[in-house]
């Protein structure tokens, strides 16, 4: 039996999940009552596929900027180092369906985008590594598989 690790995703059996999906990965309550919900938005099947960095980077910028047009509950959206998905942190939004709706609406906005926000040397740490077309392709791929987002395990 393996020791439970401190990082939630290190305890997830990546061979049993079926991307794409949205999974509530963690929930933390602060000392003043606020609750943070951390979601695992898996885009690619772990250890079988990954997002290319320019597309992932642009999708991160687009999700982070555009999601806030749909919800005041967005704390952060960040990519996974394995390049298979994103972590989405929401505050005081307990409804899983709200997270699903937020992601769907934001991905639809990505398809309509004509530029990557903050894609310049002043606002981005690696402005040369972007692909709007790649981000749109990932968004379309996710939207095409929208019905599967709630099926986490194969």
CATH code of residue 30: 3.30.1360.80
- Asked, for residue 150, whether it belongs to a domain, the answer is no
Say what the pTM is: 0.96
Summarised one tens digit per residue, pLDDT across range 22-67 is 999 999 999 999 999 999 999 999 999 999 999 999 999 999 999 9
- Domain containing 111 equals 15-145
What separation in angstroms does the CA of 140 have from each of 44, 84, 109, 135, 150? 13, 16, 11, 9, 17
Question: Is 87 inside any structural domain?
Answer: yes
- pLDDT bin (cut points 50, 70, 90) of residue 3 is confident
């Amino acid at each position: 039996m393996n020791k439970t690790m401190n990082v939630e995703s290190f305890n997830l059996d990546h061979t049993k999940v079926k991307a794409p999906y949205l999974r509530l990965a963690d929930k933390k309550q602060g000392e003043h009552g606020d609750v943070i919900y951390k979601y695992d938005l898996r885009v690619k099947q772990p250890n079988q596929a990954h997002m290319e960095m320019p597309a992932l980077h642009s999708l991160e910028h687009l999700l982070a900027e555009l999601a806030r047009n749909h919800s005041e509950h967005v704390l952060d959206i960040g990519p996974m180092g394995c390049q298979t998905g994103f972590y989405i942190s929401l505050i005081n939004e307990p409804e899983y369906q709200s997270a699903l709706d937020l992601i769907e609406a934001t991905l639809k906005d990505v398809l309509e985008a004509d530029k990557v926000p903050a894609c310049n040397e002043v606002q981005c740490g690696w402005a040369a590594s972007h692909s709007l077309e790649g981000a749109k392709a990932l968004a379309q791929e996710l939207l095409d598989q929208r019905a599967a987002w709630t099926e986490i395990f194969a």
